[in-house]
Structure 1
């Protein structure tokens, strides 16, 4: 099973542990450069402590470890170690350039500039921040990967800030950083950012769901074995070498199912997911056939993202089956390469490609970025830019309006009934019809971004 991204989430991380972990992830890592960057960062941040009381350099090490776990190059990891020195110490950018060269200096400069400007209003500051973020991404996408790693570690330690600040940062993370990680296909970061956002936005909901997930862990693992073992056996009989394992849905995903469907935790059938990883595309489809021979598929749940990749380049076969005890189990089937791209997304482009700065122009994930940057040049209203950015980030979601003009964002394919449940469970349970853009439509109608929806 893949190594989780938060290997050193608990406890204190020191340089020796960091080097051991980093070498295990990438045997080609430049240890001399990494050690030099750490020593430079430790000296620059000497005496500085975070709100938690930990030495500031701990944060730098953890950011660099997240980058290493994404299999990024030595230059990016070193930049992660020194990413805060220009912003938070007396060190000048020229000193970074003299010590580490133009490439690392440019990365540090890109990260530093994101937080350097002051504005009249909070909205103006937020809009300009995201505009700068997009521009920095266009120059070198590794700037935003460092920023995502920085935000993830800040979210892991957010409990040390005051409640108001915690909620503001968590909301920003949920609205922009988690979708950005998703847009760039980095499932590992997206999942943890979403869960941590929920933890600080709705702490009681998060605690209760975490408790219930933990309570059902043993029962869940037993059930997963009832599905995994027959699949392994059947694949072996067909001479297909595969990794087959089960996992629980992450907490924010469970919360969204409860909220959208308006059903309690114990009535959610598809809390379980099985992943099958094989050698090539042909084996993906072969494995799909084997799974459907073992169990009856849930008809409307099949999706072929191998033939039709998602906008962030994600590829897999998705199906769901009625497993033992007639429980619904979701199954993903993919190759090892597809799995690496699904977990690391845009960061996967740097594996074994030391020194690469820009992506190929044909890259799907960058086409979206260039469209947003072209569009913002002609923009006169800053709030339009922020709305356009968020619509771009939620490419697989839609934005619709309530009769009062409030924006609701729903998953692509959502219907007026989903909209009703997003307002309140009672509204969903008691709605008898809907108007879309002033016209009465069936509750099963698929909504589109920009629709005005009224529940009857």
Structure 2
């Protein structure tokens, strides 16, 4: 991940706050402030501010805003999509503060709550149902697509192993893209936005998959040449 200097990050925060206020998106601004207070740490790269993830997704969503059915609610859900999963925030509080539509999106986006343990034999089925439910909501499906696109972009900098990166890409192809396709069929008003997000994921996945293959080849070459070097 590109290291964003604190001064630049603070400028981005200020710009986002001003933009939301100027648009009259007071619900999204409220979600922005609420989420930012919770996401105070750093990302897994140990450098980037934790909330830079939500900022990246929101900034991209702003670029396709005309194609979204629920513009402000989608931005609000983007800011809030990790608060129930990563922190002890109840969905009831989200509903009380931000309304039913945003709360439903956040509920669908939340895979598990802090401390919850999912039995290994239940993970595959639960994951499949998770994406099936996301496809039924125009806000959650869009937020999840953008969330996955940014995570793909930053997974190498986060120190993920090659195997974990490959598994994550495979999940994007086998579950995230079909979810976006199903949502596109249902919510035709934001068809072009879904196409945009699909293309973003595919471009990143192809680029990273090429890099992973190159890295694997280099590792295999190193394993072959190392014994020869020892023989000499």
1:190-224 deviations in Å (ceiling 9; x for gaps)? 222112223333316689xxxxxxxxxxxxxxxxx
Q: Which whole-Å CA distance do the structure 1 matches of 2:144 and 2:73 have between them?
A: 15
* In 1: Cα distance, 2:179 partner to 2:97 partner: 32
2:42 to 49, 64, 75: 49
| Match of residue 167 from structure 1 | 166
Number of equivalent positions: 191
Q: Distance in 2 between matches of 1:137 and 1:175?
A: 14
1 CA distance for matches of 2:162 and 2:149? 18
Match of 2:84 among 58, 65, 86: 86
TM-score, with normalisation over the residues of structure 2?
0.69
Match of 2:187 in 1: none
Deviations 1:403-426 (A, max 9, x none): xxxxxxxxxxxxxxxxxxxxxxxx
Matched, 1:193 2:201: yes
Gaps of 5+ in 1: 1-8, 208-456
Question: How much does 1:82 deviate?
Answer: 1.0
**Aligned match for 2:104, one of 96, 103, 106:** 106
Distance 1:114 1:173 in 2: 19
Q: Is the 8 A contact 2:145 2:180 kept in 1?
A: yes
**CA distance in structure 1 between the aligned counterparts of 2:144 and 2:51, rounded to whole angstroms:** 16
Contact 1:63 1:153 in 2 (8 A): yes
Contact 2:85 2:112 in 1 (8 A): no
Q: How far apart are 1:144 and its partner, in Å? A: 1.3
TM-score scaled by length of structure 1: 0.38
Which residue in the other structure is 1:323 paired with? none
Is the 1:148–1:177 Cα contact (8 Å) retained in structure 2?
A: yes
Q: Which has the higher strand share?
A: 1
Tell me, yes or no, if the aligned pair for 1:30 and 1:74 is still in contact at 8 Å. Answer: no
- Work out the CA distance in 2 between the residues paired with 1:101 and 1:75: 9
What is the aligned counterpart of 1:155 among 152, 156, 159?
Answer: 152
Aligned to 1:202: 210
Residue by residue, what CA displacement relative to the aligned partner does 1:289-339 show, whole Å, maximum 9, x if unpaired?
xxxxxxxxxxxxxxxxxxxxxxxxxxxxxxxxxxxxxxxxxxxxxxxxxxx
CA–CA distance in structure 2, aligned partners of residues 135 and 204 of structure 1? 31
The question of whether the paired residues in 2 share the 8 Å contact of 1:86 and 1:92 is answered with: yes
What do residues 364-397 of structure 1 show as CA deviations (whole Å, max 9, x unaligned)?
xxxxxxxxxxxxxxxxxxxxxxxxxxxxxxxxxx
- Determine the structure 2 residue equivalent to 1:146: 143
CA RMSD of aligned residues (A): 3.0
What is the deviation of 1:70?
A: 2.6
CA–CA separation in structure 2 for the residues paired with 1:195 and 1:80: 22
Cα distance, 1:75 vs structure 2: 1.2
Q: Which one has the largest radius of gyration?
A: 1
Greater relative contact order (Cα < 8 A, sep 6+): 2
Contact kept in structure 1, 2:56 and 2:150, CA below 8 Å: yes
1 CA distance for matches of 2:164 and 2:198?
21
**Residue 204 and residue 93 in structure 1: after superposition, are their counterparts in 2 closer, same or farther (change >3 A)?**
closer
Q: Secondary structure at the match of 2:51?
A: helix
The Cα of 1:118 is off from its aligned counterpart by 1.7
Residue aligning to 1:69: 63
Relative to structure 1, the CA distance from residue 114 to residue 135 in structure 2 (aligned partners, 3 Å threshold; closer, same or farther) is farther
Mapped contact 2:131–2:176 kept (Cα < 8 A): no
Instruction: Answer whether contact 1:170 1:196 (CA < 8 A) is retained.
Output: no
Change (3 A) 1:30 1:132: same
Shift of 1:80: 0.7
SS of 1:90's equivalent in the other structure is coil
